[in-house]
Amino acid sequence: MKNYREINWFVAEKVMNWHVWENEEGDLMVTKGYGCYSHCPSFSTNIADAWQVVEKLKNDGFDFQVWLEKNGKYNVEFSKDFFFLFVLLNPKMRHLRFVWRH
């Protein structure tokens, strides 16, 4: 079983550049600047939350492509210079998998 909590923490911290922390109940929280905080989005299980990553990387100058394989899996590739990020989405299992390459 994948640890979606760790994926969400990683994406929030490393991709979105947010400060991530746990509240007293153990929920993941993020600080997005100016002291504003909220629950950490579920980037790994919610497509609307994952789309925030697409917008952030696009605004950071990344190119991206989306394609559908014959087996029903979606692939997303982000690239900038010699850095590549692949996001593999299996709609039936409703999860994302991130693959980084330099």
Coil vs helix vs strand at 13: helix
H or E, element range at 6: helix 4-10
pTM: 0.71
Mean pLDDT of 74-100: 64
Query: Across residues 3-29, what is the average pLDDT?
Result: 92
pLDDT of 61 higher than 60 = yes
Task: Please count the structural domains in the chain.
Answer: 1
> How far is the CA of 67 from the CAs of 11, 45, 70, 83, 88, in angstroms?
22, 19, 10, 19, 10
- Residue 49: which domain range? 4-101
